[in-house]
């Protein structure tokens, strides 16, 4: 039995299952892959914390650079 998207009920071919399983555990089609479109409850904030802090550091450095000029 093929799995279906939990949002639109569209069939998802089993070869795409790994790609279309979100970190929150929901099976979604490619259209509903983004967090907002399937009401994702995964804690992306803490997951992306490292990446965000990297960006922050870069922007702080950029701001420092600007002040020097």
Contact between 30 and 40 (Cβ < 8 Å)? no
Under the binding rule (CB under 5 A), the answer on residue 40 touching Zn ion is yes
Q: Could you identify the residue written with the tokens 């639109």?
A: 8
Cα 18 to Cα 12, 26, 45, 59, 61: the distances in Å are: 11, 11, 22, 35, 38
Under the binding rule (CB under 5 A), the answer on residue 24 touching Zn ion is yes
Cβ proximity to Zn ion, 43 vs 61, nearer residue: 43
In whole angstroms, the minimum distance from the beta carbon of 30 to Zn ion comes to 8
Binding site for Zn ion (CB under 5 A): 5, 7-8, 10, 22, 24, 29, 31-32, 40, 42
């Amino acid at each position: 039995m093929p799995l279906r998207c939990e949002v639109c009920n569209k069939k998802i071919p089993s070869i795409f299952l790994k790609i279309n399983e979100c970190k929150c555990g929901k099976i979604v089609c490619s259209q509903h892959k983004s967090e907002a479109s399937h009401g994702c409850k995964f804690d992306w904030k803490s997951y992306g914390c490292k990446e965000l802090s990297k960006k922050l550091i870069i922007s702080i450095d950029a701001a420092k650079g600007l002040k020097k000029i």
